[in-house]
Amino acid sequence: MRRRAEFLPYQPRTILNKHPRADHWFWVRYSAYPYLGCQHGCLFCYCRERKFCPHPDPADFAYSIRVKENAPALLRRALSRAPVDVIGLGDYQPAERRFQLSRQMLEVCLERGFPVLILTRSPLVLRDLDLLTALNARAPVVVAFSLVATPESAGYAGVRRMEHLAPALEKRWAAMAEVARAGLLTGTCCMPILPGLCDDDANLELLVRWTADHGGRFLLAGGLTLADQQRAFFFETLRAAFPDLSSLYTRLYPEGSYGAAGWPWPAIGRRLRALCQRAGISDRMPRPIIPGEKRALNKQVVERLANEVYALELAEAPEARRWEVRRAAWAIEDLAQDLGLFYRTFGRRGLEGLPGLSPDLAGTVAGWLAAGARPGDGA
Ligand code: SF4
């Protein structure tokens, strides 16, 4: 018999997670979510890791849901004091039909004009399309759909079993098309690409084609991570439900590893990049431009540096070089002044004085500034 979910009222003291810097994938500076636990219960979910999961038994993660009843009120108070930047928001698991906390939190973002990134496995997000389009007229909205297979994929049935409580893949693809028709930026988040189920070349081609055909403008990809109790839960489930995959994953994820040690990620990333270029979409999410943003140029330069880090990763460049460019991105992100004014005032020497920016990269950034950096410029 299918286990029923229980909903536990919960009153946290804070709701807004403030990250020191925007991440280089989704460009999120804040995050705020109204539920702890997720009824979609994907077998691979990293939120079962000890540091995220509220339960000692990770099996409870999908069935014991803490409902942060005061989330909208807490968010309203937090945003009244926070500089405007992108918030990762919106949890559209089945609980949301009943409690509508994600919707109320979106209303707060609309009141305050905060840009929003929604990453979801559910077409329930369409219920809030009215709010999302209204917000998009004030501040950028991005809705990304988690999808690692299509109905045409050979691994379709296996992926469905890995995400057996989540809405059907077909409904998510259809929802993407509807979000695109509403004029919002949308795309695919192919995370995690599961070895042996959906990392074959034919599926990569399908993912890119289906994204482009459904109005998606980007496709982000990444691999599976496994840690502590989430790792134990995953392997236990794999042995019982996917015995044919068990030995592959045991080999790829030896004890103590976090990512897959023997998985050919850079080659898969390069293949996706070539496919995306051919389809006219990006394998990176464009950084949202916030209207009236005083440090827009800083953010454009950070985006360009972050794109360079990703290109270096795909090219399997030395780790040291990737860190050098990543630190340069952080140095520019941390600069409180407008980068253009800073450069006109202090020149290249001023850039060289920024902590974390190497002389080599200070020269590169100075060259971009002299030429006039534009959003989305390739590195
Ligand atoms: S939808 Fe996301 S948060 Fe929910 S179980 Fe799946 S991977 Fe985890």
What one-character-per-residue DSSP string does 334-376 give? H--S-HHHHHHHHHHHHHHTSTT--HHHHHHHHHHHHH---TT
Measured from the CB, is residue 48 less than 6 Å from ligand 1?
no
Say how far apart CA 107 and CA 273 lie, in whole Å.
36
Question: What count of other Cβ atoms lies within 10 Å of the Cβ of residue 84?
Answer: 17
Q: Answer yes or no: is the C-beta of 177 below 6 A from any ligand 1 atom.
A: no
pTM score of the predicted model: 0.95
**C-beta separation of 251 from 196 below 8 A:** no
Contacts of 210 (CB under 8 A, 6+ apart): 147, 150, 152, 173, 188
Listed as ranges, residues in the chain with pLDDT below 50 are 374-379
Q: To test ligand 1's pocket by mutation, which of 42, 60, 89 has the most ligand atoms within 8 angstroms of CB?
A: 42
Domain residue extents for the chain: 6-279, 296-371
36: tokens are 């702890």
- Nearest residue (by CA) to ligand 1, atom 8, is 45
Whether 41 is in the pocket of ligand 1, judged by its Cβ within 6 Å, is: yes
> What's the whole-number average pLDDT of the chain?
95
Could you say which architecture CATH assigns to the domain 296-371? Orthogonal Bundle (1.10)
Residue 121, ligand 1, Cβ within 6 A:
yes
In terms of CATH, what superfamily is 6-279?
Answer: Aldolase class I (3.20.20.70)
Q: Is the CB of 45 under 6 A from ligand 1?
A: yes
- Residue 373 pLDDT: 52
As a whole number of angstroms, the distance between CA 114 and CA 83 comes to 9
Cα separation, 62 vs 54, whole angstroms? 11
In degrees, to the nearest 5, what angle opens at C-alpha 53 toward C-alphas 51 and 55?
125
CA-to-CA distance for 313 and 245, rounded, in angstroms?
A: 27
Q: For residue range 150-168, list pLDDT tens digits in order.
A: 999 999 999 999 999 999 9
Give pLDDT, residue 1.
Answer: 65
**Alpha carbon of 45 to ligand 1 centroid (Å):** 6
Give me ligand 1 centre to Cα 42, in Å: 5
